[in-house]
């Protein structure tokens, strides 16, 4: 459970704010450092392309939907 600190005077409030700010900034710096080290490994393999994307949509549709694709596209010209 989190420790609750209560400040009653103005100087205690300012000291508490300073303490919280230091703790928060320390956490932010750590998170940025961790994020930088984690993403460095990923970015050297990323060439801004989606490795999961199919380059041939018709081949994908044929492979995964086959007969269903043919049955539904058979009527496409009738709608035009």
Residue 20 lies in a domain: yes
* Domain count of the fold of the chain: 1
Residue 54 lies in a domain: no
Residue 50 lies in a domain: no
Residue 21 lies in a domain: yes
Q: For residue range 11-39, list pLDDT tens digits in order.
A: 999 999 999 999 999 999 999 888 877 77
Domain that holds residue 34: 10-42
What's the CA gap between 57 and 52, in Å, rounded? 12
What token pair was written down for 34? 């961790």
Residue 65 lies in a domain: no
Average pLDDT over residues 36-64: 73
What's the CA gap between 24 and 45, in Å, rounded? 33
Put simply, whether the predicted model's pTM sits higher than 0.75 gets the answer no
DSSP 44: T
Average pLDDT over residues 45-70: 78
């Amino acid at each position: 459970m989190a420790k609750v600190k209560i400040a009653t005077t103005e100087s205690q409030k300012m000291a508490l704010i300073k303490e919280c700010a230091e703790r928060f900034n320390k956490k932010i710096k750590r998170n940025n450092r961790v994020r930088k080290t984690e993403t460095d490994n990923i970015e050297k393999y990323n060439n801004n392309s989606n490795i999961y994307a199919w380059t041939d949509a018709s081949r994908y549709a044929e492979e995964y939907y086959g007969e269903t694709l043919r049955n539904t596209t058979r009527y496409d010209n009738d709608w035009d």
